Amino acid sequence: MAMTISACDEDTQGIGSSLTNDVDRFTLFNDTFKVSTRSIIVDSVLAKGSSCYLGCMKDPETNDYVTSSYTTQFVMLEALTNSLLPAEANIVNTIDGEAIVDSCHLNIYIDSSIGDTLAPMKLTVYELGTPASEGKLYYSDFDPIEEQLVRLDGIKKTKNYTHVNYLLKDSLRNTTTYLPYINVLLNEPYTDKNGKQYYNYGTYVMQMYYRHPEYFKNSYTFAKNVCPGFYIESTGGSGIMSKIFTTELILYFQKKGDDGNVVSDKRIFSATEEVLQTSNITHNKKRIEQLANDNTCTYLKTPAGIFTEVTLPIDDIMVGHEKDTIASAQITFPCYRKTDDNALKAPSYLVMLPKAQLYTFFENRELPDSKMTFLGWLNGTDDAYEFSNISTLVTSLYKDKAKNGADWNKVVLVPIERNSGVESATSTTKVSNLMSLTSTRLIGGSQNTHQPITISIIYSKSY
C-alpha cells in the first residue's frame, strides 16, 4: 500500500526538469521595430512564360495609355508527326495537282478582360521571318519589329474587333464553354521566302508537311523551317485589355473518308507555355516616375511599373540577440482604401524576395520557398498584404550581410500571377511576373502620415 500511495503522488513539480536537460530550457519574448519602404521603378519584367495580354487602356492614375501586344509560336508534338494531316491523295481540293487548304484562320481566344467589352479595337498580325532565339530571356520591352524578327514582305493583316462579338448567336455566346475570340482570316494568296506562291497560308503549311515531314518533328523544327510565329500588335482603339487564353492556327480542308465520301476536317496548331509567348508593354515612363516620387506612400503597379522596396531593420533586431533564435517575424503592409469605382484592382498575390534576386528568381523559374522568398496575398477583410513569418529570411540576411553589399537588408514586394487557371488553388506550382493592369498604394514611404510599418519579432532565448 505504501508503494502504491507513493506512485500516485499528484505533485507535478519537477516533471519538466526531469524530462528536459537544463540547456534545453528557453523563454519567449517579443519586440517591435519600424520598417522603412519606398517605391522603385521597374522598366521591364520577364515576359516569357507569362500570360499574354492584348489591348490598350487609359490608366486612371497616370492618365496615360498602356498598350500590350504579344508574340506567339505554336506547339508541335512529335507523336503526331506521322498523322498530322491525311495522305495528300485523300485531300479533295487541289490546284495544279497539289493539295490546298480551303480556309485558314488565326483565332485569338480571350480568357478575361478589364474595361469596356464593346470598345472598338484594332490589331495587326505580322508574320515572323525569324524565330526568337532559343534560351534567350525576353522582357516586357521586347519589340520584335525593332529586333527585326518580323518578315517585312510577309503577312501583315489588320482586324477590327470588339470583345463581345454580336455576329454570333446568343445561344452560342451564353454557353458555359464559350470563350470570346478574335477571328483573323489568312485566306489571301501567300508567297514564301523563296518566292513560291500558295493558295493561302494554310496551303503553304500543308504542302510543307507533304514535302518535308521532318520539319514537323517538334516545335523547334517547325518554328525554324515552317512557321516562326506571329506578332499580334494592338494598333488602334482603347478601353479594354484582354488576357489571352491561347492562339490557334486552324487549317480547314476536305478529305475522302474511309467510306469514300467527302468529309470536312481541320487541323489545329495551338500556342502554349511550352513555346515562346511574350507580351510587349508600352507606357509613359515619365508618368510612372511622378507616381514613384510620391513619398507619402509606396506603389505596387503592374505590368511594368512600380514595386515596393522594404528595408528591414535587421541590425536593430539582432543587437543583443546574436545568440538568440528568431522564432517569428511578422510584417503587414496595409493598403489605402480605394474610393474610386474606376480604380484599377490591387494585385492578388505578391512575392517577397531579396533585392539581389529581383530578376533571377523569375529567370530561374523559382517558387517561394518560405525560407528566403515568401508568398503573400491580399487580405480583403483588412485590405492588407500579410507575411506571417519571415524569420528565416531575417536570420539569413544577417549572417550573409558581409558578402551581399549595400542592399543586404533590402527586400522587394513583387506582384505575381500564381498558377494557371486549371491548377490547384491550394499549392503554388508556378509564379510569374504579373502582366495585367493592377495598382494599389501601400501605407509607407519616407513621408508617411499614418502609423509606421513595423515588424513584430518573437525571440527564443535558451538558458
Task: Identify the burial level of 195 via C-beta atoms within 10 angstroms of its C-beta, where 0-12 means exposed, 13-18 middle and 19 or more buried.
Answer: exposed
- Give pLDDT, residue 122: 98
Q: How many angstroms separate the CA atoms of 89 and 99, rounded? A: 8
- Give pLDDT, residue 104: 98
- All three cell numbers of 183: 477571328
Residue 75 Cα distances to 43, 83, 246, 272, 290, angstroms: 30, 15, 11, 7, 42
Q: How many angstroms separate the CA atoms of 274 and 219, rounded? A: 9
- All three cell numbers of 4: 502504491
Taking every pair of C-alpha atoms in the chain, what is the biggest distance, in angstroms?
113
Segment 116-152, tens digit of pLDDT:
999 999 999 999 999 888 778 899 999 999 999 999 9
* Average pLDDT of the residues in 45-66: 89
For residue 2, which amino acid is it? A
For residue 101, which amino acid is it? V
**In the predicted structure, residue 111 carries a pLDDT above the cut 60:** yes
* Average pLDDT of the residues in 402-416: 95
* Average pLDDT of the residues in 385-404: 95
Neighbours of 390 (CB within 10 A): 25
For residue 51, give the DSSP letter: P
Residues 322 and 462: beta-carbon distance below 8 Å: no
At residue 17 the predicted structure's pLDDT band, cuts being 50, 70 and 90, is very low
Q: How many angstroms separate the CA atoms of 337 and 440, rounded? A: 9
3-state secondary structure of 392: helix
Least confident of 306-315, 364-373, 417-426, 429-438: 417-426
- Provide the whole-model pTM: 0.88
Q: Give percent of the chain above pLDDT 90.
A: 74
Q: How many angstroms separate the CA atoms of 119 and 241, rounded? A: 10
At residue 25 the predicted structure's pLDDT band, cuts being 50, 70 and 90, is low
- Give pLDDT, residue 277: 83
**In the predicted structure, residue 8 carries a pLDDT above the cut 70:** no
- Give pLDDT, residue 423: 47
Q: Which of 362, 377, 420 is nearest to 111 (CA)?
A: 420
* Average pLDDT of the residues in 313-322: 96
At residue 178 the predicted structure's pLDDT band, cuts being 50, 70 and 90, is confident
Residues 430 and 350: beta-carbon distance below 8 Å: no
3-state secondary structure of 220: helix
* Average pLDDT of the residues in 195-216: 97
- Give pLDDT, residue 420: 60
3-state secondary structure of 361: helix
